[in-house]
């Protein structure tokens, strides 16, 4: 008699307070018939937001060690076969929990190093990888001395935020001082705001030399320390600052094969230098004047809804690959479909209240466009980068070539109009 395939055990999905990534992970688990326990630091009334799942586990994300202990207690009650973090903050908890449960994992120290931009730079530099000039400065003394010590142009950034929040380019001491004060305010707001965990690193900022050149993003899967490529995206809009809102992601990359190979090589070396071993990585690199430079590696999948641009093997999502790998199911194929694909993240052009979006039908009817998703809720204030941490929505397209996909996305974007108005003054 044939042996039935092993039924996967429970998956613990660590969902951050504010994320629309949960839905796609839950759908992936359902397709794989993997039961899910949703870890959350919100109250239990959010059950409806996640749909039918095996259950919810309330965890205090601010205390990773205690959170891991809580997870181990739950696993003693009923086994957990894999832990998937959805963002950088939960990646540390996932590593700690998986260590307690004896599951294949990233070492907790590696997850911590990866989630801290200074520790990450130090690890990459120590491994001899190309890194921009960098230095951390305490905020307390103010920007005056620092402004005279850094090379220009430079980029100032918080150590523990993500999504380009608080990342600002400065071309001279004047802009440096203004950027510094602005990041100070963003960090102060983040401290009083539980949804932005800044890893207790709100008292310093990181300054790096600005690396000019085209940017690319790499999605990969680590298995036993080996990086396998899932997708390499070009980011064809120039990201020259002073703020770094992301827009276009198009795959496959149009850069020459030798450049693509070099990017994969340095990202694999960076993951190794950080000590990462298992699970998804999302990395950004710049094609600088002296060759590719890793800007950042994260121990998670690409953010927002961007993963919807990817399909593998017979149609599996990125989340299916990550879930299967986490619970020890065979990963069928990590080969991306042969068509070109892309996504445009829609940045918030200015602060105000979103009154409505028009042109959706027109955008959807552009050949190649597969979906237009508006994620920003109407009648709420929207805040652009560097202070904001959200996008208006996402456009998705597929086509025969990356050029065709890029054109479809640009045309669809042209057809959309966002009605953003100044908020009404508060009446006392």
Ligand X SMILES: Nc1ncnc2c1ncn2[C@@H]1O[C@H](COP(=O)(O)OP(=O)(O)O)[C@@H](O)[C@H]1O
Q: Note the residues at the interface with ligand X (CB under 6 A).
A: 117, 132, 155, 157, 161-165, 167, 208, 210-211, 215, 239, 244, 284, 286, 295-296
Q: Which is nearer to ligand X, 163 or 393 (CB)?
A: 163
DSSP state of 6: P
Minimal distance, residue 296 CB to ligand X, in Å: 4
Of all residues in the shown chain, the one whose CB is closest to Mg ion is 296
Q: Which residues bind Mg ion (CB under 5 A)?
A: 284, 296
Of all residues in the shown chain, the one whose CB is closest to ligand X is 244
Residue 118: name the closest of 135, 130, 131 by CA.
Answer: 135
CA torsion sign, 392 to 397 to 402 to 406?
negative
Minimal distance, residue 9 CB to Mg ion, in Å: 33
Minimal distance, residue 409 CB to Mg ion, in Å: 21
Partner whose binding site includes residue 215, from Mg ion, ligand X, none (CB under 5 to 8 Å by kind): ligand X
Give the integer Cα–Cα distance in Å for 164 and 11: 30
Partner whose binding site includes residue 336, from ligand X, Mg ion, none (CB under 5 to 8 Å by kind): none
Q: Phi, psi (5° rounding) for residue 276?
A: -75, 145
Within 8 A by CB and 6+ apart from 169, the residues are 153, 154, 155, 156, 175, 179, 210, 240, 241, 242, 243, 244
Q: Which is nearer to ligand X, 25 or 243 (CB)?
A: 243
Minimal distance, residue 119 CB to ligand X, in Å: 13
Q: Which is nearer to Mg ion, 15 or 298 (CB)?
A: 298
Q: Which is nearer to ligand X, 85 or 163 (CB)?
A: 163
Give the integer Cα–Cα distance in Å for 157 and 314: 41
Q: Are 224 and 240 in contact (CB under 8 A)?
A: no
Q: Which is nearer to Mg ion, 121 or 415 (CB)?
A: 121
Residue 113: name the closest of 126, 105, 123, 104 by CA.
Answer: 123
Pairing of β 393-399 and β 340-346: antiparallel
Minimal distance, residue 342 CB to ligand X, in Å: 17
Minimal distance, residue 91 CB to Mg ion, in Å: 14
Partner whose binding site includes residue 210, from ligand X, Mg ion, none (CB under 5 to 8 Å by kind): ligand X
Partner whose binding site includes residue 163, from ligand X, Mg ion, none (CB under 5 to 8 Å by kind): ligand X
Residue 195: name the closest of 346, 307, 39, 87 by CA.
Answer: 87
Q: Which is nearer to ligand X, 244 or 394 (CB)?
A: 244
H or E segment to which residue 228 belongs: strand 226-235
Partner whose binding site includes residue 132, from ligand X, Mg ion, none (CB under 5 to 8 Å by kind): ligand X
Q: Which is nearer to ligand X, 54 or 387 (CB)?
A: 387
CA–CA–CA angle 262, 85, 376 (5° rounding): 90
Partner whose binding site includes residue 165, from ligand X, Mg ion, none (CB under 5 to 8 Å by kind): ligand X
Give the integer Cα–Cα distance in Å for 363 and 155: 35
Minimal distance, residue 296 CB to Mg ion, in Å: 4
């Amino acid at each position: 008699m044939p042996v039935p395939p092993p039924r996967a055990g429970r998956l613990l999905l660590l969902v951050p307070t504010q994320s629309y990534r949960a839905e796609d992970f839950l759908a992936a688990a359902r397709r794989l018939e993997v039961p899910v326990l949703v870890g959350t630091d919100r109250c239990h009334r959010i059950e409806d937001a996640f749909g039918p799942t095996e259950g919810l586990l309330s965890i205090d994300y601010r205390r990773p060690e205690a959170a891991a202990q809580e997870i181990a207690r739950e696993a003693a009650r009923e086994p957990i076969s894999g832990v998937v973090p959805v963002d950088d903050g939960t990646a540390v908890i996932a590593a700690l929990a998986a260590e307690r449960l004896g599951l294949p994992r990233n070492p907790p120290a590696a997850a911590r190093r990866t989630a801290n931009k200074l520790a990450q730079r130090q690890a990459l530099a120590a491994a001899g990888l190309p890194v921009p000039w960098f230095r951390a400065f305490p905020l307390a003394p103010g920007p005056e001395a620092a402004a005279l010590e850094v090379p220009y142009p430079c980029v100032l950034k918080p150590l523990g935020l993500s999504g380009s929040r608080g990342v600002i380019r400065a071309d001279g001491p004047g802009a440096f001082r203004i950027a510094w004060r602005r990041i100070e305010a963003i960090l102060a707001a983040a401290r009083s705001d539980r949804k932005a965990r800044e890893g207790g690193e709100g008292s310093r900022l990181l300054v790096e030399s600005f690396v000019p050149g085209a940017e690319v993003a790499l999605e990969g899967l680590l298995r036993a320390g080996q990086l396998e490529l899932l997708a390499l995206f070009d980011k064809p809009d120039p990201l020259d600052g002073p703020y770094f809102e992301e827009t276009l992601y198009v795959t496959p990359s149009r850069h020459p094969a030798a450049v693509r190979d070099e990017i994969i090589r340095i990202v694999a070396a960076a993951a190794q230098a950080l000590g990462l071993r298992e699970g998804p990585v999302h990395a950004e690199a710049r094609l600088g004047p002296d060759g590719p430079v890793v800007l950042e590696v994260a121990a998670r999948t690409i953010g927002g809804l961007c993963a919807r641009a990817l399909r593998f093997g017979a149609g599996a999502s990125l989340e299916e690959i990550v879930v299967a790998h986490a619970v020890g199911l065979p990963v069928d194929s990590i080969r991306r479909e042969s068509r070109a694909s892309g996504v445009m993240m829609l940045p918030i052009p200015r602060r105000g209240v979103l009154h409505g979006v028009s042109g959706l039908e027109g955008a959807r009817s552009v050949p190649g466009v597969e979906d237009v998703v508006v994620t920003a809720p109407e009648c709420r204030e929207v805040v652009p980068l560097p202070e904001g941490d959200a996008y208006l929505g996402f456009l998705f397209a597929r086509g025969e070539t990356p050029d065709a996909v890029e054109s479809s996305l640009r045309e669809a974007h042209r057809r959309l109009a966002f009605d953003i108005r100044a908020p009404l003054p508060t009446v006392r």
